[in-house]
Amino acid sequence: MKVLSVASEIFPLVKTGGLADVTGALPKALAAEGVEVRSIVPGDPTVLKALHGEKVHHFDELFGGPADLLVGEAQGLHLFIIHAPHLFSRDGSPYVGPDGLDWPDNAQRFAALSWVAAEIGRGLVTGFTPAVVHAHDWQAGLVPAYLQYGGGRRPGTIITVHNLAFQGVFPADLLHALRLPASAFQPEGVEYYGKIGFLKAALHFSDQITTVSPTYALEIQMSGAGMGLDGLLRTRRAVLHGILNGIDEAVWDPASDPHLVARFSAKRLRLRATNKSSLRQRLGLAPDPEAPLFGVVSRLSHQKGLDLLVGALATLVEQGGQLALLGSGDQMLEDAFASAAVASPGRIGVRFGYDEALAHLIQGGADALLVPSRFEPCGLTQLCALRYGAVPVVARVGGLADTVIDANAAALASGVASGLQFSPVSQETLESAIIRTVAIWFCQPMWKRLQRNGMKTDVGWTRSARQYVEVYRDAVRSRS
């Protein structure tokens, strides 16, 4: 089966978050199941630099200028790239300009991605006519709409929701510029509260809908987590599936990770101490032998609940803990963590920005990983933590609820606990979780059990790739 994956990010070429990890790793797992995946991504400068592509099609006019469709390989990925300088030759973030605001033409930029993907779906490229087009998030949301309105061959379509908080909503007067017919502007089309909704359109038109954990699949059918789309999702629940993300076990392997100072395995957990010392040194933390070291690797945004951690830092320090935080995003949060680091020298260490190597060292050196998200469609950092023997301490939401087994009395008695969960998400419950974590830390046999259970957890892609294959088959069936 041939599948075209459509997304704005793909690891390791362009990444702002977990979406890239998924679109980078899933094709390899699907290949092992006999699915031939090619991924189409915008020709951002970093992508073009990595690819020696061959031109397979020329568009005289693609949303404001000429463009070429390139095909090629980079970093083991089979890619279609849209080389459209007027849309994508921009350094920095794929979404935001140097002024910190969304690019004003984001609607056209990602409509172009969806448009070309739909054309490939119809058979534009000889030798690669996909049975299924798999769109990821709002940036690819117009694919099924274009296939619906454009006529011609109709492959099966899937939308995967990685985060319902980002919906791609644009003014109604762009309808024509986005090459959508006037008839599309209705509730049974792309219209969304008087505007054009890219994700809404995908949820309406796709044959199948997936999201990245079973719990999030339930949460988004309710008001609140549904963020305005819960009604539509409820009407489509027969084709809505929660399929857990995995992580790329080659990229995230503590036994061979080049970013670690000491590589280790479940049998050689003692070696983690070397990574812990190195991490402390890098972040200016005191070499206190008793202190549990908490780590955070995260976007700093409301979703991730790190404002709650700011409030809980006094408890963390009072309990004798230390914090190593790597994050980027919200300036107010950066400022708050920077001040906390100044106020508690040797106890709180912070780094702002995107740093792949430090992210790995935190996973391989911190004792526990904190993920206090208000909502979390899946979350990948807790999966990395499980594999690296950093005990995840997580909010009981979305994929966090599905992947970590809380150290409650029953789980401890049956020896299956792999981390700690807290709920409802608040500063108080986070503080209790920190206190509970420190108590377990001082009972080292119990702590080691959590680490070992975590490291045994299946965080790979195989099981989920098989579930995607089933969904692809259903999508194809609904077209025949």
Q: Which is nearer to ligand ADP, 96 or 476 (CB)?
A: 96
Burial class (CB in 10 A: 0-12, 13-18, 19+), 370: buried
Q: Which is nearer to ligand GLC, 197 or 377 (CB)?
A: 377
The neighbouring-strand residues paired with 191 are 196
Helices within 51-128 (DSSP H only) = 85-88, 106-122
Shortest CB 384 distance to ligand GLC, Å: 11
Shortest CB 125 distance to ligand ADP, Å: 30
Shortest CB 11 distance to ligand ADP, Å: 8
Q: Which of 2, 154, 195, 299 binds ligand ADP (CB under 6 A)?
A: 299
Shortest CB 307 distance to ligand ADP, Å: 16
Shortest CB 378 distance to ligand GLC, Å: 4
Q: In what order do the strands lie in the sheet with 208-211?
A: 54-59, 67-74, 77-83, 36-42, 2-6, 132-136, 156-161, 208-211, 240-242
Cα–Cα distance measured from residue 63 to residue 112, given in angstroms and rounded to the nearest whole number: 6
- Other C-beta atoms closer than 10 Å to the C-beta of 92 total 10
Q: Does 357 bind ligand ADP (CB under 6 A)?
A: no
Sign of the alpha-carbon dihedral angle for 231, 232, 233, 239: positive
Shortest CB 393 distance to ligand GLC, Å: 16
Closest CA to 160 of 37, 26, 298, 302: 26
Judged by CB under 6 A, which stretch of 17-25, 85-93, 274-282, 312-320 contacts ligand ADP? 17-25
Q: Which is nearer to ligand ADP, 130 or 398 (CB)?
A: 398
Assess contact for 436 and 370: CB atoms under 8 A: no
The DSSP string of 283-346 is HTB---TT--EEEEEEEESGGGTHHHHHHHHHHHHHTT-EEEEEEEE-HHHHHHHHHHHHHSTB
Shortest CB 337 distance to ligand ADP, Å: 12
Give the interface with ligand GLC as residue ranges (CB under 6 A). 17-19, 22, 162-163, 212, 245, 376-380, 399
Q: Does 17 bind ligand ADP (CB under 6 A)?
A: yes
- Other C-beta atoms closer than 10 Å to the C-beta of 429 total 18
Sign of the alpha-carbon dihedral angle for 223, 228, 231, 237: negative
Q: Does 71 bind ligand ADP (CB under 6 A)?
A: no
Q: Does 359 bind ligand ADP (CB under 6 A)?
A: yes
Closest CA to 229 of 205, 206, 204, 211: 204
Shortest CB 105 distance to ligand GLC, Å: 23
Measured CA to CA in angstroms, residue 281 lies from 278, 286, 354, 477 at distances of 5, 8, 19, 57
Shortest CB 166 distance to ligand GLC, Å: 8
Q: Does 392 bind ligand ADP (CB under 6 A)?
A: no
Q: Which does 212 bind (CB under 5 to 8 A by kind): ligand ADP, ligand GLC, none?
A: ligand GLC
Q: Does 26 bind ligand ADP (CB under 6 A)?
A: no
Closest CA to 370 of 355, 348, 353, 346: 348
Assess contact for 18 and 303: CB atoms under 8 A: no
Backbone Cα Rg of the chain:
23
Judged by CB under 6 A, which stretch of 120-128, 260-268, 348-356, 453-461 contacts ligand ADP? 348-356
Assess contact for 229 and 220: CB atoms under 8 A: yes
Q: Which is nearer to ligand ADP, 93 or 319 (CB)?
A: 93
Q: Does 356 bind ligand ADP (CB under 6 A)?
A: yes
Give residue number: closest CB to ligand ADP. Answer: 18
Q: Which does 206 bind (CB under 5 to 8 A by kind): ligand ADP, ligand GLC, none?
A: none
Q: Does 326 bind ligand ADP (CB under 6 A)?
A: yes
Q: Does 334 bind ligand ADP (CB under 6 A)?
A: no
Q: Does 250 bind ligand ADP (CB under 6 A)?
A: no
Residues at the site binding ligand ADP, with contacts judged by CB under 6 A: 17-19, 21, 297-299, 326-328, 354-356, 359, 378-381
